[in-house]
A and B are shown apart, each in its own frame.
Chain A
Amino acid sequence: MTICSLVIQTKPDHLRAVNKSLVNMDGIEIHTQNQQGKLAITIDHPSREYCSKAMTDITHIDGVMSTSLIFEYQEDQDDF
Chain B
Amino acid sequence: MKQSRRDFIKSQAVVAAATTAGLSLSATQLASAKGDDVQEDIKWDKIPCRFCGTGCSVLAGTREGRIVATQGDPDSDVNKGLNCIKGYFLSKIMYGKDRLTTPLLRKKDGKYSKDGDFEEVSWDEAFDIMAEKWKATLKEKGPSGVGMFGSGQWAIWDGYAASKFMKAGLRSNNLDPNARHCMASAVGGFMRAFGSDEPMGSYDDLEHADAFVLWGANMAEMHPILWSRLVDTRLTREGAEVHVLSTYTHRSFELADNGMIFEPQTDLIIANYIANYIIQNKAYDKQFLADHVNIKKTVTDIGYGLRPEHPLEKKAKNPGKGKLSNMSFDEYAKAVSKYTLEYSSEKSKVPAEQLERLAKVYADPKKKVMSLWTMGMNQHTRGVWMNGLVYNIHLLMGKIAEPGNSPFSLTGQPSACGTAREVGTFAHRLPADLVVKKASHRKVAEKIWKLPEGTINPKVGYHAVLMQRMLKDRKMNCYWQQCNNNMQAGPNINEEMLPAWKDPANFIAVSDPYPTVSAISADLILPTAMWAEKEGAFGNAERRTQFWRQQVKAPGESKSDLWQIMEFSKRFTVEEAWGEELVAKTPEHKGKTLYQVLFKNGQVDKFPYKSDTVQDEEKRVYQNDESKHFGFYVQKGLFEEYRRFQTEGPKPGHDQAPFDTYHKVRGLRWPVVEGKETLWRYREGYDPFVKKLNPKVKKGDVYFYGQKDGKANLIFAPYEPPHETPNEEYDMWLCTGRLLEHWHTGTMTNRVPELHRAAPDALVYMNPNDAKKRNLRNGSKVKIISPRGEITTRVNVRGRNKMPEGMVFVPFFDARRLVNKLIIDATDPLSKETDYKKCVVKVIKA
Chain B residue with minimal CB distance to A1? B6
Residue A24 is within 8 A (CB to CB) of chain B in the complex: no
CA distance A79 to B825 in the complex (A): 41
Would you call B84 and A69 a contact (CB within 8 A)? Answer: yes
Kindly supply a per-residue 1/0 record for chain B positions 5-30, scoring 1 wherever the CB is within 8 Å of any chain A CB and 0 otherwise: 01001101110111011111100010
Would you call A56 and B20 a contact (CB within 8 A)? Answer: no
CA distance A80 to B93 in the complex (A): 11
CA distance A36 to B220 in the complex (A): 19
Measured CB to CB, the closest approach of chain A to B619, in angstroms, equals 27
Which A residues are in CB contact (< 8 Å) with B232? 9
Of the candidate stretches B67-75, B165-173, B470-478, the one touching chain A is: B67-75
Residue A21 is within 8 A (CB to CB) of chain B in the complex: no
Residue B577 is within 8 A (CB to CB) of chain A in the complex: no
Residue B283 is within 8 A (CB to CB) of chain A in the complex: no
Contact of B740 among A7, A42, A53, A59 (CB under 8 A): A59
Q: List 26 A-B contacts (CB under 8 A).
A: A3-B10, A5-B13, A7-B17, A31-B14, A31-B18, A31-B25, A32-B23, A32-B29, A34-B23, A38-B23, A39-B23, A40-B14, A42-B13, A52-B754, A52-B758, A53-B754, A55-B88, A66-B228, A67-B224, A68-B84, A70-B71, A71-B17, A71-B71, A72-B70, A72-B88, A80-B92
Contact of B235 among A1, A12, A55, A68 (CB under 8 A): A12
Quick one: which of B86-114 are within 8 Å of A by CB? 87-89, 91-92, 95-97
CA distance A48 to B14 in the complex (A): 18
CA distance A1 to B6 in the complex (A): 8
- Residues of chain B at interface, number, CB under 8 A: 56
Which A residues are in CB contact (< 8 Å) with B22? 38
Which A residues are in CB contact (< 8 Å) with B96? 80
Which A residues are in CB contact (< 8 Å) with B335? none
Which B residues are in CB contact (< 8 Å) with A48? 754
Residue B377 is within 8 A (CB to CB) of chain A in the complex: no
Contact of B224 among A36, A68, A77 (CB under 8 A): A68
Residues of B within 8 A of A (CB): 6, 9-10, 12-14, 16-18, 20-25, 29, 61, 66, 68-72, 81-85, 87-89, 91-92, 95-97, 220, 224-225, 227-228, 231-232, 235-236, 254-255, 740-741, 752-755, 757-758, 800
CA distance A11 to B22 in the complex (A): 17
CA distance A48 to B87 in the complex (A): 14
Which A residues are in CB contact (< 8 Å) with B755? 52
- Among the interface residues A36, A40, A51, A79, which one has the most CB atoms of the partner chain B within 10 A? A40
Measured CB to CB, the closest approach of chain B to A75, in angstroms, equals 7
Chain A residue with minimal CB distance to B230? A66
Chain B residue with minimal CB distance to A53? B758
CA distance A12 to B338 in the complex (A): 43
CA distance A66 to B219 in the complex (A): 11
Quick one: which of A16-43 are within 8 Å of B by CB? 31-34, 36-42
Which B residues are in CB contact (< 8 Å) with A72? 69-71, 87-88, 91
Would you call B68 and A37 a contact (CB within 8 A)? Answer: no
Chain B residue with minimal CB distance to A34? B23
CA distance A48 to B6 in the complex (A): 15
CA distance A34 to B95 in the complex (A): 38
Contact of B69 among A53, A68, A73 (CB under 8 A): A73
Which A residues are in CB contact (< 8 Å) with B752? 52
Chain A residue with minimal CB distance to B90? A72
Which B residues are in CB contact (< 8 Å) with A36? 235-236
Chain B residue with minimal CB distance to A51? B88
Which A residues are in CB contact (< 8 Å) with B66? 77
Would you call A32 and B25 a contact (CB within 8 A)? Answer: yes
Chain B residue with minimal CB distance to A58? B85
Contact of A52 among B29, B88, B227, B255 (CB under 8 A): B88
Would you call A40 and B69 a contact (CB within 8 A)? Answer: no
Measured CB to CB, the closest approach of chain A to B10, in angstroms, equals 5
Measured CB to CB, the closest approach of chain A to B223, in angstroms, equals 11
Chain B residue with minimal CB distance to A8? B21
Measured CB to CB, the closest approach of chain B to A15, in angstroms, equals 12
Contact of B10 among A11, A42, A56 (CB under 8 A): A42
CA distance A69 to B91 in the complex (A): 13
Measured CB to CB, the closest approach of chain B to A11, in angstroms, equals 7
- Residues of chain A at interface, number, CB under 8 A: 44
CA distance A66 to B231 in the complex (A): 8
CA distance A79 to B96 in the complex (A): 10
CA distance A36 to B757 in the complex (A): 35
Measured CB to CB, the closest approach of chain A to B51, in angstroms, equals 12
Measured CB to CB, the closest approach of chain B to A49, in angstroms, equals 4
Which A residues are in CB contact (< 8 Å) with B228? 9, 65-66, 68
Which A residues are in CB contact (< 8 Å) with B231? 9, 65-66
Which A residues are in CB contact (< 8 Å) with B757? 49
CA distance A56 to B740 in the complex (A): 9
Would you call A60 and B800 a contact (CB within 8 A)? Answer: yes
Contact of A38 among B9, B21, B68 (CB under 8 A): B21
CA distance A44 to B72 in the complex (A): 18
Which A residues are in CB contact (< 8 Å) with B18? 31-32, 40
- Among the interface residues A11, A48, A65, which one has the most CB atoms of the partner chain B within 10 A? A65
CA distance A65 to B227 in the complex (A): 9
Contact of B24 among A32, A37, A53, A77 (CB under 8 A): A32
CA distance A22 to B383 in the complex (A): 42
Would you call B9 and A68 a contact (CB within 8 A)? Answer: no
Which A residues are in CB contact (< 8 Å) with B82? 7, 68-70
CA distance A63 to B1 in the complex (A): 41
Measured CB to CB, the closest approach of chain B to A47, in angstroms, equals 8
Which A residues are in CB contact (< 8 Å) with B95? 77, 80
Would you call B14 and A5 a contact (CB within 8 A)? Answer: yes
Would you call B235 and A9 a contact (CB within 8 A)? Answer: yes
Measured CB to CB, the closest approach of chain A to B460, in angstroms, equals 42
Would you call B235 and A42 a contact (CB within 8 A)? Answer: no
Would you call A56 and B14 a contact (CB within 8 A)? Answer: no
Would you call A71 and B23 a contact (CB within 8 A)? Answer: no
Would you call B16 and A5 a contact (CB within 8 A)? Answer: yes
Q: Quick one: given A5-B17, A53-B758, are A73 and B81 in contact (CB under 8 Å)?
A: no
Known: A40-B17, A66-B228, A69-B88. 6 other contacts (CB 8 A): A5-B14, A9-B232, A42-B13, A59-B740, A65-B228, A68-B83
Q: Quick one: given A9-B231, A53-B758, are A69 and B87 in contact (CB under 8 Å)?
A: yes
CA distance A40 to B61 in the complex (A): 21
Would you call A69 and B85 a contact (CB within 8 A)? Answer: yes
Which B residues are in CB contact (< 8 Å) with A33? 23
CA distance A57 to B14 in the complex (A): 20
- Among the interface residues B14, B72, B225, B232, which one has the most CB atoms of the partner chain A within 10 A? B14
CA distance A19 to B536 in the complex (A): 42
Measured CB to CB, the closest approach of chain B to A43, in angstroms, equals 9
CA distance A66 to B232 in the complex (A): 10
CA distance A66 to B251 in the complex (A): 10
Measured CB to CB, the closest approach of chain B to A78, in angstroms, equals 12
CA distance A66 to B740 in the complex (A): 12
Measured CB to CB, the closest approach of chain B to A38, in angstroms, equals 5
Which B residues are in CB contact (< 8 Å) with A68? 20, 72, 82-85, 224-225, 228
Chain A residue with minimal CB distance to B758? A53
- Among the interface residues A3, A31, A53, A66, which one has the most CB atoms of the partner chain B within 10 A? A66
Measured CB to CB, the closest approach of chain A to B86, in angstroms, equals 8
Measured CB to CB, the closest approach of chain A to B362, in angstroms, equals 24
Would you call B14 and A42 a contact (CB within 8 A)? Answer: yes
Q: Quick one: given A31-B14, A52-B755, are A71 and B69 in contact (CB under 8 Å)?
A: yes
Q: Quick one: given A3-B9, A80-B753, are A70 and B85 in contact (CB under 8 Å)?
A: no
Which B residues are in CB contact (< 8 Å) with A75? 68
Which A residues are in CB contact (< 8 Å) with B91? 72, 74
Chain A residue with minimal CB distance to B21? A7
Measured CB to CB, the closest approach of chain A to B70, in angstroms, equals 6
Measured CB to CB, the closest approach of chain B to A79, in angstroms, equals 7
Would you call B254 and A70 a contact (CB within 8 A)? Answer: no
